[in-house]
């Protein structure tokens, strides 16, 4: 009897755990908000490529080709529009934000030569460069 109860409890716990896992573990978060769309877009491009290939080798009739191509292009347009919408709402940090042209961090006050690191003396004109205070 005790064994039976123990088995029932174990099974119940297992079912409970599995049930929770299925419910509470969503799809892994996409890295980018448009990642899944990017993948969709890539897939559509691949399909278009395959389609063009099959058409070229004569596997598809004109009708089939045009119809399938039209469908894929429509799908692609939808994906692109969705991506635009998402990107406009929340530009991903990965996209470089265009700002004013980058100024070199260090430059010689005498000849304006630019350096990417602080220098005591200018490598161009040889004069001493005072650090910023
Ligand atoms: Zn200089």
The answer to whether residue 58 is domain-embedded is: yes
What is the structure's pLDDT at 4?
A: 85
Q: Is the pTM of this model over 0.95?
A: no
- Into how many domains does the chain fold? 2
Q: Find the 99 Cα to ligand 1 centroid distance in Å.
A: 27
Say which range, 5-9, 32-36, 43-47, 92-96, has the weakest mean pLDDT: 92-96
The answer to whether residue 19 is domain-embedded is: no
The answer to whether residue 9 is domain-embedded is: no
Residues facing residue 128 across a β-bridge: 121
Q: Is 112 left (phi over 0), alpha (psi -120 to 50) or beta?
A: left
Instruction: Convert the pLDDT of each residue in 72-131 to its tens digit.
Output: 999 999 999 999 988 888 765 655 555 555 665 788 889 988 888 888 899 899 999 875
Residue-number span of the structural domain to which 76 is assigned = 33-89
The answer to whether residue 25 is domain-embedded is: no
Q: Find the 128 Cα to ligand 1 centroid distance in Å.
A: 8
Q: Find the 98 Cα to ligand 1 centroid distance in Å.
A: 29
Say which range, 3-12, 28-37, 89-98, has the weakest mean pLDDT: 89-98
């Amino acid at each position: 009897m005790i064994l039976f109860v123990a088995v029932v409890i174990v099974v119940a716990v297992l079912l409970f755990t599995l049930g929770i896992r299925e419910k509470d573990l969503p799809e892994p978060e996409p890295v980018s908000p448009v990642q899944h769309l990017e993948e969709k877009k890539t897939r559509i491009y691949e399909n278009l490529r395959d389609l063009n290939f099959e058409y070229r080798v004569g596997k598809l009739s004109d009708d089939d080709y045009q119809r399938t191509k039209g469908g894929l292009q429509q799908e692609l347009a939808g994906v692109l529009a969705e991506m635009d919408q998402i990107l406009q709402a929340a530009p991903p940090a990965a996209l470089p934000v265009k700002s004013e042209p980058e100024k070199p961090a260090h430059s010689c006050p005498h000849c304006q030569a630019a350096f990417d690191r602080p220098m005591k003396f200018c490598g161009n004109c040889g004069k001493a460069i005072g650090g910023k205070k």
